[in-house]
Amino acid sequence: MRLPLNAIHWYIGWPFFLVVALRSFAVRDTSGNSLNRLFGLSAITWLACFTVYALPPLLTTDSNVLTISTIVGDALQFIALFILWVAVARVYLPRLRWARILVVIADAMVVLVGIAITAQVNLANPVTLTYVNGAWSINYVVSMGYQVVSAIQYASLLFLAARFWSQSLQLSNRAQKIRLRAFAIGFLAIGGIYVSRPFFGSGTIDMSTSVLVAFSMIMTGLFIGATIYLSRRKTKLS
CA dist 50 and 61 (Å) reads 18
Quote the pLDDT of residue 2.
Answer: 85
Nearest to 145 by CA among 167, 117, 164: 117
Quote the pLDDT of residue 174.
Answer: 80
Quote the pLDDT of residue 60.
Answer: 93
Quote the pLDDT of residue 177.
Answer: 86
User: How many other CB atoms are there within 10 angstroms of residue 195's CB atom?
Assistant: 20
CA dist 221 and 20 (Å) reads 9
Beta strands in 58-157 (DSSP E): 128-132, 135-139
Between the alpha carbon of residue 229 and those of residues 30, 92, 182, 225, 236, the distances in Å are 18, 31, 15, 6, 11
Quote the pLDDT of residue 215.
Answer: 87
Indicate the pTM of the whole model. 0.90
CA dist 66 and 5 (Å) reads 16
Quote the pLDDT of residue 235.
Answer: 57
Cα–Cα–Cα angle for 179, 184, 190, nearest 5°?
A: 125
Query: Measured in whole angstroms, how far is the alpha carbon of residue 185 from the centre of its chain?
Result: 14
Q: Which mean pLDDT values do the consecutive 10-residue runs of the chain (238 residues) have?
A: 88 85 68 76 93 94 96 97 96 94 97 97 95 88 93 96 92 82 91 90 71 86 73 59
Domains of the chain: 5-237 (1.20.1070)
Between the alpha carbon of residue 121 and those of residues 128, 139, 140, 150, 156, the distances in Å are 14, 13, 9, 14, 24
Query: Measured in whole angstroms, how far is the alpha carbon of residue 192 from the centre of its chain?
Result: 12
